[in-house]
Each structure stands twice: as structure tokens, then as C-alpha cells.
Amino acid sequence: MNHKSLFTVGSIVLFIFGLIWILIPDIGLGLYGISPIDVATGFVTRYWGSAFLGLAALLWLSRKATADSIAVRGIIIGSFVMAITGLIVAFADAFWGSSNNVIWSSVLLYGIFTIWCGLLMLKK
């Protein structure tokens, strides 16, 4: 397990979700049982998609960086922060939100990336 595989898998997942959120937010949110969406929700979802696409590019272009570089360490720590906060929000949504059972796929993805990033943070 190394940063190259994390960055590659992470960039692909973020790219797919980024495209969904920016191009077809109504369909993407509909999968989670959130429908219909209003104009404001559509734009907030598109902002989220643009952030995901930016992070996908960052991870993809950084995957060949030297493992012991400060940049790779910073990206791993930042990815951990994103993953663990996303996991907390996904759990909250699963228990108290209005999403359907598809939200558990988000819990799973955020959980996997939280563990993966956490293990890489502990690796010397």
C-alpha cells in the first residue's frame, strides 16, 4: 500500500463523482432520494462537483511524486481530513438526514479512504 495507489484510486473516484455532481446534480442527488432539487441546491451541488474535479486533478498529477516529499505528506493529511469529516457527515446523514439507503455507499467510501489515508499517515 502506497500513496501512488491511493492517489490513483482517489482521483478516479473523485473524477466520477465530480462529473456527476457538476453535470447532472438532479440525477446524482436523485439516487440518494433527494428529489426534486431547487436552483440553490443544484448550484451548491455543482460547487461540490467542481471541488471534487480539482481534487481529482491534484491527486492524479501528484501520484508519481516522491513518497517522502513534504507535498505527498500534505496531500495525504489533507485527504485524511476530507475523508474523516466526510465519514462523520455521511454517518449523520444516514441516521438523521433525509437520504435513502444509498447513503451507506458514501459511508463505505469515506470509511475506506479514512482508513487508507490513516494508515499512510502512520507509515514512515
Q: In whole angstroms, what is the distance from residue 91 CA to residue 84 CA?
A: 11
Q: Which domain holds residue 116?
A: 3-122
> How many domains does the chain contain in total?
1
> Which contiguous run of DSSP H or E holds residue 76?
helix 70-96
Q: Could you read off the pLDDT of 2-30 as tens digits, one per residue?
A: 999 999 999 999 999 999 999 999 999 99
Say if residues 49 and 17 touch (Cβ distance below 8 Å). yes
Q: Is the pTM of this model over 0.75?
A: yes
Q: Could you read off the pLDDT of 73-99 as tens digits, one per residue?
A: 999 999 999 999 999 999 999 999 989
